[in-house]
């Protein structure tokens, strides 16, 4: 009972302290929206003549957010002097993308999305803690930590991240041999590696695009257009 009362008291004290800070400090918060878009690896496409400036675009969205930006990407591509076609056999380039994740994240998670690159995992971790029983000294420590937590949360920026895997295929006059390895699980005791090879006439390049928007108390509806603009610029910028 004493611990609960102390925690409540520290919570009130923390909130009052925050109110005082907010009233006196007008420059402590980063209230300008910060946006960023990065690629896990650079893709270089060779210049082509006007007869080969044709693109087949396929953009999927397997995240839990509604992100319909294929038309905007098409418009950005057309503005670069390319023609977007619906028949892949008529296109010199195929641009295939999949929006894997859209939501809140941390700097550490964003860095890990980039580090793992194309095809890597996008599940963010959650750090948890447990507060157990103890004496008055423990209660004071918990109360102080809680007050510090409230202060940190009040001054903490909210970050939204969009993770997109991108594959570009370029028509080639040479035969291109592709080799794939797949590891198949065999119960709980082992696995089998499956190897397949095929030949074609397309060179393929893969990268991951991570767009972020960060601001204090940022709402998703405010972050959405910035995340979309970052992806549009990034994809059209490859051409």
> For 52-74, what is the mean pLDDT?
93
Please, which residues bridge with residue 179 across strands? 197
Q: Strands 157-186 and 93-104: what pairing? A: antiparallel
Mean pLDDT score across all residues of the chain: 76
Which tokens go with 177? 């041999």
| Residue 36 burial by Cβ neighbours in a 10 Å radius (0-12, 13-18, 19+) | middle
User: Does 43 have pLDDT greater than 50?
Assistant: yes
| Bridge partners for 35 per DSSP | 213
Quick check: 143 pLDDT over 80?
no
- The predicted pLDDT at position 146 comes to 52
pLDDT in tens, 94-116: 999 999 999 999 989 888 888 88
The pLDDT score that the predictor gives to residue 127 is: 37
Q: Where are the domains of the chain?
A: 32-125+157-236
Question: 32-125+157-236, which class in CATH?
Answer: alpha beta
- Average pLDDT of the segment spanning 73-90: 95
184 vs 232 pLDDT, higher one? 232
* Longest Cα–Cα distance in the chain: 79
How many angstroms separate the Cα of 95 from the Cα of each of 41, 42, 77, 92? 16, 15, 11, 10
The average pLDDT across 152-158 equals 64
């Amino acid at each position: 009972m004493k611990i609960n009362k102390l925690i409540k008291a520290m919570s009130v004290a923390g909130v009052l302290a925050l109110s005082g800070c907010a009233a006196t400090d007008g420059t402590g918060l980063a209230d300008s929206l910060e946006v960023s878009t990065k690629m896990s690896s650079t893709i270089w496409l060779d210049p082509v003549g006007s007869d080969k400036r044709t693109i087949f675009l396929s953009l999927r969205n397997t995240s839990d957010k509604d992100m319909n930006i294929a038309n905007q990407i098409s418009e950005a591509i057309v503005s670069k002097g390319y023609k977007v076609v619906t028949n892949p056999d008529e296109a010199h380039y195929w641009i295939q993308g999949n929006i894997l994740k859209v939501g809140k994240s941390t700097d550490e998670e964003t860095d890990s999305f980039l580090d793992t690159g194309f095809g890597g995992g996008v599940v963010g971790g959650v750090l948890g803690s447990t507060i157990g029983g103890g004496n008055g000294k423990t209660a004071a420590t918990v109360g102080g930590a809680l007050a510090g937590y409230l202060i940190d949360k009040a001054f903490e920026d909210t970050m939204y991240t969009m993770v997109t895997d991108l594959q570009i295929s370029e028509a080639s006059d040479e035969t291109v041999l592709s080799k794939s390895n797949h590891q198949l699980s065999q119960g709980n005791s082992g696995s089998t590696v499956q190897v397949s090879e095929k030949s074609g006439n397309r060179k393929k390049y893969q990268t991951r695009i991570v767009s972020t928007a960060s601001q204090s108390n940022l709402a998703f509806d405010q972050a959405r257009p910035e995340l979309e603009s970052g992806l549009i610029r990034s994809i059209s910028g490859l051409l």
